[in-house]
Every structure is written in C-alpha cells, then in structure tokens.
Amino acid sequence: MTQRTEQATTPRSVRRVRWWRRPWVLPLAVLTIVFLAFSLPPYLTLDPDRSRLPLRDEFAAHYPFLLAHIGFGTVALVTSCLQVWPWFRQRHPAAHRWLGRAYFFGGVLPGGLAGLVVSVVAVQGVVGRIGNALLATVWLLFSFAGYRMARQRRYAEHRRWMVRSFALTTSIVVNRLWLVLGIIALAPLTDTYYGGDEEAMIQAAAEASIWLSWVVNLLVAEWWLERGRGRRRRPAGESGGTAGTDPVSAPAPASSPA
C-alpha cells in the first residue's frame, strides 16, 4: 500500500522511464544504422574517386576535410541517439555525461568546423553552399549552448538546446528523403523549365533538400518543445494528465546528469 501511494505521488517527470515505452527509439536506431550502412562504405576506402560528392580539384584538402566531417558527424549521430533516449539517460547517468562530452567534443565541434570548410569549397551552387554553411553554424551554436547549460546545471534548458542540436544532427538522414521527393516533384519539369537538362533538375532538388532537411527538422523540434511546455502550463485535470509529463522539457532534479 505504501509503495503504491509513493508511486502515485511521484511526479511523472522524475519516474523511471521504461525503454519499451518510447516507440520512436527502435525506428530511430534502425534508420540510423541503415543510413550509415549505405553512406559510409565508399569513404572507408579513403579513395577520393569513390566520393559521392563531387570534389574541387583546385583544393587538395577538400577530400580530407570531407572525411573529417563525415567521421566526426558519424560520432555525433550515433551518440545523439543514445543521449535523447530517456531510459538510457536515467539508468546510466555517468554514461550519459561521458557520451555528452563525446557528442560535443568528438562529434559536433570538429564535425561542424570541417563542415564549414566543406560547404564553402563545395562544387554545388551558391544556394546549397549557403544552406550547408548555415546548418554547420547553427549546429555548432546550438550544441555549444546545450553544453554550456549543462555545465551551469541548468538541465531543463540544456535538454531543450540538445533537442534542437539533435534535430540538426539528424538532418543528414532526412536529407536523402527530401532529395528523392524533390526529384519526383521536379522530374515532370525537366523538359520544360529545365530545358531537358536533367543534371540541372537534380541539382535544384539537391539544393532544396539541403534547406528542407534542417529547417523542417528544427521547426518540428520547436513544435515538440512548445508542446511539452504547453502541457505543463495547463491545470493537471484539464488534459487528464499530470503537468510536466514531457521527459525532454521537464525540469530536472538537482542531481540530474549533465
């Protein structure tokens, strides 16, 4: 009886979260593995001729910077999937802290800086280069803000910034989906608008996918965060739930991991 009473009075935001009650965890893991299995092999050979992105011949360091961006970006992508998993964060706080450092210092920071160089020297059009440069810049700034909040033990704000950072990290995954959708949408215009130039059509779809991949992800992240904040503002009985049910945006206790 005492155990049930204690459980009933414990706020949902600090209860242990069972791993199987987050239905997005498994699809996220599968999607990440499939993406890496498809994208990484050509670059593991260290052969510039197998690069899926065109390289600028007059800039000899283009390929090394691209490899650095992909390698550190892979670290960020893998660690971020664990960092946003509530069960892992609550059950393994020490691992969460160390993976958080690996995410920022071994993933985002070097990956974002290398991404800035790659975006500037890229062969693609100006629109695509600007989109990638802005993505790398915002990725660095948002991730640094999340790290800084954790260092200051402002954990609720830390989680909000890291949700935004995670949205930008996973933009590379959905970029491929936007590219396919863009090609499907623009293909009927190849003979008319693009004058039969299929390469120009694909280039336009690629540039659109760069912007859509991170802007849409960021909008979805903001919607998610405001949705959680709106729940806490409502009276507990209004929506049939308890305020602060969102594990991402709910304030963390003083002993919560960074």
In a domain, 226, yes or no: yes
In a domain, 239, yes or no: no
Q: What is the mean pLDDT of the chain?
A: 83
Token reading at 235: 């009276």
Token reading at 204: 């336009």
**Containing structural domain, residue 211:** 2-231
Q: What is the CATH number of the domain that holds 56?
A: 1.20.120
Mean pLDDT of 97-117: 96
In a domain, 161, yes or no: yes
pLDDT band of residue 137 (cuts 50, 70, 90) is: very high
In whole angstroms, give the CA distance from residue 51 to residue 151: 39
Nearest Cα neighbor of 79 from 99, 96, 106, 109 is 99
H or E element at residue 156: helix 155-169
Q: What is the pLDDT of residue 250?
A: 35
Q: What is the pLDDT of residue 156?
A: 92
Could you tell me the pTM of the whole model? 0.79
Token reading at 19: 């791993």
Indicate the angle between helix axes 62-83 and 25-39, nearest 10 degrees.
160
Q: How many domains does the chain have?
A: 1
